[in-house]
Structure 1
């Protein structure tokens, strides 16, 4: 069995923010969500793949992941976590395996709860990579990730979601 996790924050306020790109992608992958009070997440099952969106805030995502992992006896190497990455240019998608959280608190929560970083991450870049004078500006990371996508970013979002889904499907095929 595989577990695919989309990271994000619950609540209408966070619905279309950069930090919720994991939820945005997983919503396109899975349908018919059901709520699990015990695991504090919503889930969807398709064949031998369980999709979840933790209903905790981002920094506590690991609790829901561990609960579902333990319930279904899923090995960490069979977990794929989809999340935003401020260190990647907007729209860039990278696969990482068995690496540190690089400061992402949702990923760190999962590492802490699982006791390992031996799982796959689909990292979706949200950094605008400012140029010229704007490049010298310091970004308030916490504020930036909780802002909604700009109009220009929204125009590109559908294509980024498609690319992320294709990346996840390739990853699933390679691990079978």
Structure 2
């Protein structure tokens, strides 16, 4: 199960906080699948990637309640935490950079805090997509802002790179090997 974190709704489309959705949508486009199923407060697309059935998930909760969708979906589909990747924004990375991690704390990210609370573990894989720190605006306004024209090419590269990393892992590579290859 690959979960992209974001806020649902037109008002939030293409914002910094929705980079998780952008990566998941990139994968859906690659495999020509649509988010045509709704279950446990999430939109789901099913793709076959490297002969693996993969659920691409966009929680329909607000970002800070993402775990409300992730935990029940994992239970319902009997998905082990070792088969979960969560894709989300990270202000500690430069815009357009990605970083893969095998586990860790929420690092102040409320969406990740919610996933930890509802999965009862910090031991899930993450792909962090850099959105940089705000300059002269609040964090809330920053994460809900859109990328500048100058930033868009770097972000598209990041979305492609993150999707490539997911495919690489699904080809049977260990996540450690995937981290070494893409970090």
Give yes or no for TM over 0.5: yes
TM superposition outliers: structure 1 runs of 4+ over 6 Å: none
Q: Please, which of 160, 172, 180 is the counterpart of residue 162 of structure 1? A: 160
Match of 2:7 in 1: 9
Using the size of structure 1 for normalisation, the TM-score is 0.88
Q: Secondary structure at the match of 1:94?
A: strand
Using the size of structure 2 for normalisation, the TM-score is 0.85
Counterpart Cα distance in 1 of 2:137 and 2:41: 32
Higher strand residue share: 1
> 2:95, 2:154 within 8 Å by CA — same for their partners in 1?
no
Tell me the matched-pair count: 166
Counterpart Cα distance in 1 of 2:154 and 2:60: 27
Match of 2:37 in 1: 35
Match of 2:115 in 1: 110
Match of 2:173 in 1: 174
Provide structure 1 residue ranges, at least 5 long, that are not aligned to the other structure.
Answer: 130-136
- CA root-mean-square deviation: 1.7
Provide structure 2 residue ranges, at least 5 long, that are not aligned to the other structure.
Answer: 176-183
Kindly report which structure 2 residues correspond to 1:22-101, keeping only aligned pairs within 5 A, or say none.
22-30=20-28, 31-36=33-38, 38-47=39-48, 48-101=53-106
Counterpart Cα distance in 1 of 2:122 and 2:133: 27
